A and B are shown apart, each in its own frame.
Chain A
């Protein structure tokens, strides 16, 4: 038996156990360590110690420029986007009660891809320049993700409720349709748009600036906090419809709120980092292995895990093939795909 320490404060109710706490703190440090290493590696290598010096304001001005202007924003985005996708995936896996659910598979990422590419195609003129500011792009993708979330939810609604299976199936169908429409938008726009859109769909944190960080961080932070408040309801969802209803939960209402949270998190992440694949699938799984499936512990560890995965993927993507820079999404798919097959094998009896 695990020894849990219940933690209750206002509406937050979590089960904490020592092991989870140790794991969480351990991964937090691991993530910070990788961030520091990643900040130091690139065209100009800076030793981790010097990185720390720069962070605490005593580095050389050249190093300061590289760390703060070039590398820090993208690294922060990698962490935040990875965490958001991971939490989003954890929520979906909880609602749908299937380990294979994730924002990419039920079409949320696909909806965002469609509006993003549509935005690039519609607002480009003949000379391949955008007629409106590129700053609206994240808004377009976010709207796409959220609309898609609602559409999937609405279409899965039947006789006073949604069932997880219907949710998944309809998500899959819409994802396939979105893919066709996205390709059409890429063809309609100029080639420049197509290649740009393609990089977005694959997912990349290249070229992030501080303004973007200033938008995404508060947004994801807010949603994460709300998700934590909802963690106990997520635990109830995992028990299944009947048990949860008997335990006095408003299952349908919770499902709606949770689905919204999941969509908004994934939407925020893909809005800035693009459709980085398989993170929402992998991270919650690894976390579940480590700390079990009580969401109080699962959510933070998933988030850290997601951050670490994207961080490492981005690091490899920009260093390993230098001077060529790959989108981080290529790497997460390359790791995610074999992991996914392994996962299906492991969960064959679920």
Chain B
């Protein structure tokens, strides 16, 4: 849709402004009425009132976390779809989120870990294990990696890890109470500290993601062509996997498994800017942040005064989209 580089660049700026606007809205809207003036006062003229505390401790962390997690999941999904050439690839469908969640739940309930930094390592380990297993299982055999085989491997891995999680939780009711809301995927009530402790890894992931675009363009011409052009495809794949693990694992550590963002967004950004990954990846990041911020604002209003976990919102939006893609089939 956007053809020239100038329009694409303009699009990026519009995207950034949109994300900032939505973050602003995310601070303003909700059960507690907040006026723009209060937000400014909360920083320049903090008076310890309820509203000011809510702004500083609840709304702003929430907006930042939603934006970061949305961007992470969308970028992870884009890279997965690009590397596997599978339009249904995403952290949730391929079991990466489930793997990370299982490890975190295991860490909390069985090993009694409460340090956020340690738990984020558990999330990375789980995400990595799931990603590697799905990739290996999906690409075994004579005909190599086929989209259907890979999707089935992912779905089965997701089923496997979630049944393990389920098993742990049946044995430990106290843990169930602790992790239930987290397990549904939510950006509400997260301490900013969680985001900060994971941030270094996310930044590494983002930097890698900026540089992998060009290599992915080459790889998307096909493995053989890429090799013929002198690309070490295995290295690109390893870096891709590292990005996915850092971004998806980090997101699970922060907000729990939030599904469907990684599947919708890459399609929208490809529709917007074509197949050049140098553009697709940043667009995915911005659109992912936009979608999760929107979903999170919506989640506050559906059953007010209670809140729907944002993972449910994304499933509501994402499931029809998934079905549309699945019906269209793999032949693009």
Contacts and interface: CB of A to CB of B under 8 A. Distances in A.
Q: Do A and B come from one complex?
A: yes
Interface of A: 98, 100-101, 104-105, 155-156, 158, 165-166, 168-170, 172-177, 179-181, 183-184, 186-188, 191, 194-195, 198-199, 201-202, 277-278, 324, 326-327, 329-330, 333-334, 336-337, 340-341, 344-345, 347-350
Given A166-B329, A172-B151, A194-B176, 4 more contacts: A168-B148, A183-B312, A198-B166, A278-B163
Contacts of A104: 159
B327 interface: yes
A349 B327 contact: no
A187 B153 contact: no
Contact of A173 (B306, B311, B326, B329): B326
Most interface-central of A155, A169, A278, A350 (chain B CB within 10 A) = A169
Nearest to B318: A177
Contacts of A199: 170
Contact of B156 (A155, A187, A340, A348): A340
B272 to A, nearest CB: 23
B167 A333 contact: yes
A175 B155 contact: yes
B180 A187 contact: yes
Given A105-B159, A168-B152, A334-B167, A350 B141 contact: yes
A180 B180 contact: no
Nearest to A341: B137
B214 to A, nearest CB: 31
A155 B327 contact: yes
B309 A105 contact: no
7 nearest CB pairs, A to B: A348-B141, A180-B315, A348-B140, A330-B167, A173-B322, A177-B319, A169-B326
A101 B177 CA distance: 33
Nearest to A98: B152
- Of the four ranges (under 10, 10 to 19, 20 to 34, 35 or more), the interface on chain B belongs to 35 or more
A218 B152 CA distance: 34
Interface of A is mostly: helix
Given A166-B329, A349-B141, A344 B93 contact: no
B158 interface: yes
Contacts of A175: 155, 159
Contacts of B153: 100, 344
Interface of B: 88, 92-93, 133, 137, 140-143, 148, 151-153, 155-156, 158-160, 162-164, 166-167, 169-171, 173, 176-177, 180-181, 183-185, 259-260, 303, 306, 308-309, 311-312, 314-316, 318-319, 322-323, 326-327, 329
Nearest to A101: B152
Contacts of A177: 259-260, 315-316, 318-319, 322
Nearest to A175: B155
A38 B105 CA distance: 33
A344 B318 CA distance: 28
Contacts of A344: 137, 140, 153, 156
Contacts of A198: 166, 169-170, 176
Contact of B259 (A176, A327, A334): A176
A181 B312 contact: yes
Contact of A202 (B160, B170, B303): B170
B142 A349 contact: yes
A215 B319 CA distance: 35
A170 to B, nearest CB: 5
Contacts of B151: 168-169, 172
Nearest to B97: A176
Contacts of B140: 344-345, 348
A169 B312 contact: no
Contacts of B260: 176-177
A168 B147 CA distance: 12
Given A155-B327, A172-B93, A350-B141, A329 B167 contact: yes
B150 to A, nearest CB: 11
Contacts of A176: 92-93, 158, 259-260, 315, 319, 322
B152 A105 contact: yes
A187 B167 CA distance: 18
A165 B153 CA distance: 14
A345 B137 contact: yes
Contacts of A195: 170, 173, 176
Contacts of A334: 164, 167
A277 B143 CA distance: 29
A181 B315 contact: yes
Most interface-central of A198, A278, A326 (chain B CB within 10 A) = A198
B315 A326 contact: no
Most interface-central of B88, B143, B167 (chain A CB within 10 A) = B167
B16 to A, nearest CB: 29
Given A195-B176, A333-B164, A183 B169 contact: no
A350 B201 CA distance: 39
A122 B57 CA distance: 33
B170 A327 contact: yes
Contact of B171 (A98, A169, A324, A345): A324
Contacts of A156: 327
